Structure 1
Amino acid sequence: MTSFRMFEIILYSMVSLLPYLGLALYPFEDKFRMSKIKLSGCIVILTVIQSALGIYATMCSQEQKALFSLLSTVCYGGFYFLAIKENVGKLVFVLLIVSNFANFVVMCAKCVEGHIFPQLAVENNKWSFSLCTMIVQLIFIPLLFLYFKKYIKGMAHIDTGKKIWRFLWTIPATFYLFWYHGLYFSTKSSIELAMDPVNMIFTFFINLGALVVYTVIVNYMAEFQYNLNLEEEKKQLEIENLCFENMKKQMESTRRARHDLKHHMKAVHTMAENNECKKITEYIETYLEHVSLKKPLVYCTNFTLNALIVYYVQQAEAHKIKLKLNIELPEETNVKEADLTVLFGNLLENAIDACDEVQENKRYINLKIYKPNSDSIVFYIENGFNGSIKKKNQQFLTTKANGNGIGIESVKYVVHKYNGDVNIKTDENKFIVSGVLLQPLDATK
């Protein structure tokens, strides 16, 4: 093999790998498992491996060439899945979109080569094909990049759950099968098919139709995310309204207590003048029980969470539930106040609803919240329940007649938003939800 032939193969390996790999990595640039410097080093190594496989393939039989092609695909896919920390179905979805586009570029480049360099077009991986490939890439890759920037990158950051991606990847896979069937199940050779302009036009419209389908999917996901955010905001407003009403009641109670205080002082003063110490003690104890001054109004230094806890403490008392709290959260956190409200509001509301379904002597809630370090918040809540669980598609549903079971899903959404994890355990008489919020977002965002 001549040096020029090796150059042709290396050039083809770079042209057929680097642009598409860049496109596939772009939507997940903030989810790499390694630094960008290490990632660049791995890409260089991958390019060398691909070039070596291409060189060896040119010196082997047709069957061995197929094996080297398979090895090349495994290396490419393996690197992609190892480099990005994301749901596998979502990665396959993006990878197949790029793969379908790459197939279109190959067909266009071969068609152009066949008309400009007809003698070279019958051979594989010639410099003329690499040149035509780069020309086609210069035309279409900027357009696809803009599409990725507008749609695919946003889709990559929408949290729709893992289950949906078990099926969505089959959509670009179907378009891939169209191309595969037309290429390998035709009476013509792949070169003959590629050099036919009609096939190139047909492939173009197939890819254009695929982009329309992907756009519909992305818009649906964006709408789903929007509706979920509205549901969360509605829930937050409901909880904040309840806290506000509770605060108004507390203020009214305080106002009445201050108004009545002078009358109580007169009564105590009269008893003191008559040296009725025992009556004074009994009177003060009765007064303290009446105004509930023994109850703490501050459970943590975080104002938003404290207002929420005060409300649910009163709800627990009204439902005759024993409530044990251990909250060590600073006044300022990098978790948005709205997310704190949704997270712990749903947890406490679900716990109270569950306790309503059991006997009074089995009603209890234990809540613990603390920061083990500056980058995480850990929570644990345990409550009594009757052992009855409703599930649909691996999601917990409420046992309330008019509920939709969005509470636990809202908890999961907030936890996953902060790159955390949530765990749910149950047995016959207790329900436990524990979790951690990692790498908190900037609260100003």
Structure 2
Amino acid sequence: MNWSVFGKAFLVETVYSIPFFILSILPFKKQLRFPIKILILFIFIGQLLQSSLYTYLISHGKPTRVTDTVFAFVSLAIYFLCVKANFWKLLFLGNFILNYFVTVRGICFFLESRLFYDPSITYYSLRDQSLLLISILLLLTLPLGLKFMKNATERVFQVDSSAFWQKVWFIPFSCTLIICAYNFDLNIDTVRKFRFILTRLWLFAMTILIYYVLLEALNAVRQQAQLEERAAQQDTLLAMQYTQYQQLSRHIEEVREARHDLRQHLNLIEHYLQSGKTEDLNTYIEQYRMTLPPDTARTWCENYAVNTIISYYGEEARKASVDFSVRIQLPPSLPLGEPQLCSIFGNLLENALDACRECTDSAPFIRICAQEDAGHIVIAVDNTCCHPPIEENGRFRSTKHDGFGTGTASIRSIAERYQGLVDFRYEDGIFYASVMLKFDSKISHGNL
């Protein structure tokens, strides 16, 4: 093996691969399957393979253009292997990285043909001019590419639709395919023409435009989903208020009837007392006590907002024959926003009730515990769950629609806002949900 050629090829592959993996790995630093040391090992092995192939092609006098395709396949393979995320989303984002590199290398080839003209230039060679130009271009453009990639990654993973991502990746890929097929022959006469550089620039411009339009459309879809979720929450709140109103109306009617009957009872009690019929009076009082209706109106906790949520789902659980157990110790007021607290309780209880309704072969139950102490709120909801939830990348698939559930994601978001912790766990037919929130008693609601 020609070790000088191999060493130079390894250096060139390193210059190419480092920016590629900065763009493909850095936005997913929290979703890596392996430690950084293993990732570096994979990259190193990939560079050895590519450098060995290049050296082999040079020593046998064969065209080296194939190394470009090999670089793309090897780099993408490491990208897919190391990042723990939806394959189709990664493929969609990977197209941007490929188009970025195709554009940068095209600009480099064009500048080299103009600044260092040589009729014998063979592209994909190891010329110092090529290495210098591409290093400068990557250094200048990489920060902007990374910023775009981070923004695109964040917005892409806010939309969960497998069918959508299985198709949409082909749009940017088709642009790459057309441009590369049109400019496959990279001889000096072709590269020197402005048509060559314009097609590469047009490729990148179209890529940016495609991503911008798609991401804006995805943002609109996400906002629509949020509006629908808020509308559903409003419907739930209205249902809760209606339940509270019905309970209050029943209580008022019972008080009115009791007040109407009380006068007759007092007259009879007075008659027994005046007649000295103490035993008859005791018998009457005992019989009257048996006729009193049960006290169904319950106060689950001192916090009015939370009590409203618990009362609503308690009534729904009663209708569904679900055993409903509550042990809550929360003060009337808390130094954190009631909407966030109600959202946590509402999402936890809605998911628990939905799971219990599916359990037809067992006695379903919901157990709720919550307590505030020393600047912390701890909430735990355990419920029967006959079907194990489907979890992907730390998120649960929804049982109501295609995609991930928004309830658990909303709870995680609120917990992060309050520097708290969330734990969801399924074991032996029971789903355990735990939430811990931290708050500063000096912080007002308006500053949250």
Q: Contact 1:322/1:363 (CA < 8 Å) preserved in 2?
A: no
Alpha carbons of structure 1 residues 191 and 282: separation in structure 2 relative to 1, 3 Å: farther
Q: Tell me which residue corresponds to 2:28.
A: 28
Distance 2:380 2:24 in 1: 31
Distance 1:136 1:68 in 2: 20
Alpha carbons of structure 1 residues 379 and 104: separation in structure 2 relative to 1, 3 Å: farther
Q: Does 1:284 align with 2:289?
A: yes
For residue 405 of structure 2, the aligned residue among 405, 409, 412 is 412
Percent identity for Structure 1 against Structure 2 = 15
Q: Contact 2:379/2:434 (CA < 8 Å) preserved in 1?
A: yes
Residue identity opposite 1:148 in structure 2 = M
Distance 1:60 1:54 in 2: 10
- What is the SS of the residue equivalent to 2:76? helix
- What is the SS of the residue equivalent to 2:364? strand
Q: Tell me which residue corresponds to 1:147.
A: 148
Residue identity opposite 2:324 in structure 1 = L
Alpha carbons of structure 1 residues 64 and 140: separation in structure 2 relative to 1, 3 Å: closer
Distance 1:381 1:43 in 2: 38
Alpha carbons of structure 1 residues 205 and 133: separation in structure 2 relative to 1, 3 Å: same
Q: Tell me which residue corresponds to 1:131.
A: 132
Q: Tell me which residue corresponds to 1:89.
A: 88
Alpha carbons of structure 1 residues 241 and 364: separation in structure 2 relative to 1, 3 Å: farther
Distance 1:162 1:438 in 2: 29
Distance 2:431 2:189 in 1: 59
Q: Cα deviations across residues 146-173 of structure 1 (Å, max 9, x unaligned)?
A: 4334x40332330323232111211222
The offset of 1:225, in angstroms, is 1.1
Distance 1:271 1:114 in 2: 118
Q: For residues 101-120 of structure 1, what are the structure 2 equivalents within 5 Å?
A: 101-119=100-118
For residue 239 of structure 2, the aligned residue among 226, 236, 242 is 242
For residue 52 of structure 2, the aligned residue among 35, 41, 56 is 56
Q: Does 1:224 align with 2:229?
A: no
Q: Contact 1:421/1:435 (CA < 8 Å) preserved in 2?
A: yes
Q: Tell me which residue corresponds to 1:293.
A: 295
Q: For residues 9-408 of structure 1, what are the structure 2 equivalents within 5 Å?
A: 9-34=9-34, 38-39=35-36, 41-61=37-57, 72-119=71-118, 121-122=121-122, 124-149=125-150, 151-184=151-184, 188-189=185-186, 192-251=189-248, 254=251, 260=258, 264=262, 267=265, 269-270=269-270, 273=273, 274-275=277-278, 276-287=281-292, 289=293, 292-294=294-296, 296-298=298-300, 307-315=308-316, 321-326=320-325, 337-342=342-347, 344-345=349-350, 348=353, 366-369=364-367, 379-380=383-384
Residue identity opposite 2:41 in structure 1 = I
Alpha carbons of structure 1 residues 244 and 376: separation in structure 2 relative to 1, 3 Å: closer
TM-score (norm 1): 0.70
Q: Contact 1:236/1:342 (CA < 8 Å) preserved in 2?
A: no
The offset of 1:238, in angstroms, is 1.9
TM-score (norm 2): 0.70
The offset of 1:293, in angstroms, is 0.8
Alpha carbons of structure 1 residues 19 and 363: separation in structure 2 relative to 1, 3 Å: closer
Q: Contact 2:103/2:203 (CA < 8 Å) preserved in 1?
A: no
Q: Contact 1:107/1:200 (CA < 8 Å) preserved in 2?
A: yes
Alpha carbons of structure 1 residues 304 and 5: separation in structure 2 relative to 1, 3 Å: farther
Residue identity opposite 1:366 in structure 2 = P
The offset of 1:439, in angstroms, is 8.5
The offset of 1:85, in angstroms, is 1.8
Q: Cα deviations across residues 60-113 of structure 1 (Å, max 9, x unaligned)?
A: 137796887666545422322232221110011111110111111111111111
Structure 2 residue runs without a partner (length 5+): 370-377, 388-396, 413-421, 440-446
Q: Contact 1:367/1:379 (CA < 8 Å) preserved in 2?
A: yes
